[in-house]
Amino acid sequence: MALMDFIKKQFIDIIEWTEQRDGVLAWRFPMADREIQNGASLTVRESQLAMFVDQGQVADVFGPGMHRLTTQTLPVLTYLKNWDKLFQSPFKSDVYFFATRQQLDRRWGTSQPVTIRDKDFGAVRLRAFGNYAFHIADSKLFHTQVSGTRDTYTVDDLDGQLRGLMLQHISDAVAGSGIPFLDLAANQVEFATQLREATGPAFAALGLALDSVTVQNVSLPEELQKILDQKIGMGMVGNDMGKFMQYQTAQSLPKFAEGAAAGGGVVGDAMGLGAGVALGQVMAQQLQQGLQPQAPAGAAAVAPAPAAAAGVSPDEVVALLEKLGDLKAKGVLTDEEFSAKKAELLKKLV
């Protein structure tokens, strides 16, 4: 038994990595004082690479499969060790395994607002977060630039560096996308694509490939969020300023009602008065526009013929007078405004 333990300790005939846990990018096969014997078996599983390193120099790299270690399968190592024929005695060499599968759901985000420059608003502050995925694309470069001679190198060891690279290129992504700052939140896919293209070369310099980037949220500064809300409101009414004024007036009425119910005092009364006057003006304008005939499309701006101007039926005049009377009764229109509109409507019947 002692002799068998001695042999097992001194010589290695099977080299493999079973990946006992997730998140390991590079792992060094434990050699201790053992040596690799001629004809030893190297097993490389799918989504793995194996690399031999001799005295700090990268030698042979093996992809997935089962490999028999001979001078034919180790040409670079044979050259480094000056083997002029089949090696008969065991040899020592560091063997590193690399996980080449995608490392998914890696998070990035701005812990503090990032200042970027926008063509419309100048310098603005942005918050954003999302996730990304990457994999080892060049094991030699990753070994020499990142993992080195460590026994184990994990995604957590690299997380801070990669997250910093993502944040560093946010400004480049915004500039490259050509998307106005106010539209970023509605174009997250394009923003993510530009962020991936801007950050990809920095990942490649470490031997990594940036496979995908997602943007889950873009937070605008409060003052720009208010502008965006107004822009959305304009879009809801077809960018018609008159309708937008009606929309704004309607939005203020609930606040007036809340102030009146709570006894809002002078400020509440003033706000309510302003809302009422604005609403009265808007409705009066709309009534006036409804009474005016519409010119045909493409027609020249000429004075309307007297006969064509009076195209309002008596029933319509009566209905409009009833609406005006309701507005007067509710206090929206003053007596003078009601009398003026009433006289204008009665002229339509002449």
> What's this model's pTM, rounded to 2 decimal places?
0.62
The 10s digit of each residue's pLDDT in 11-68 is: 788 999 999 899 999 999 998 777 888 889 999 999 999 999 988 889 999 999 999 9
Over residues 331-340, mean pLDDT: 78
**For all residues of the chain together, what is the average pLDDT?**
77
Q: Are 99 and 48 in contact (CB under 8 A)?
A: yes
The alpha carbons of the chain give a radius of gyration, in whole angstroms, of 38
- Find, among 223, 147, 215, the residue nearest to 186 by Cα: 215
Over 80: is that where the pLDDT of 203 sits? yes
Over 80: is that where the pLDDT of 259 sits? no
**pLDDT for the residue numbered 302:** 46
Res. 175 pLDDT band, cuts 50 70 90: confident
Over 60: is that where the pLDDT of 97 sits? yes
Sequential DSSP letters for 300-338? ---PPPHHHH----HHHHHHHHHHHHHHHHTTSS-HHHH
Over residues 160-179, mean pLDDT: 86
Neighbours of 152 (CB within 10 A): 13
**pLDDT for the residue numbered 332:** 66
For the chain, what's the residue count?
Answer: 350
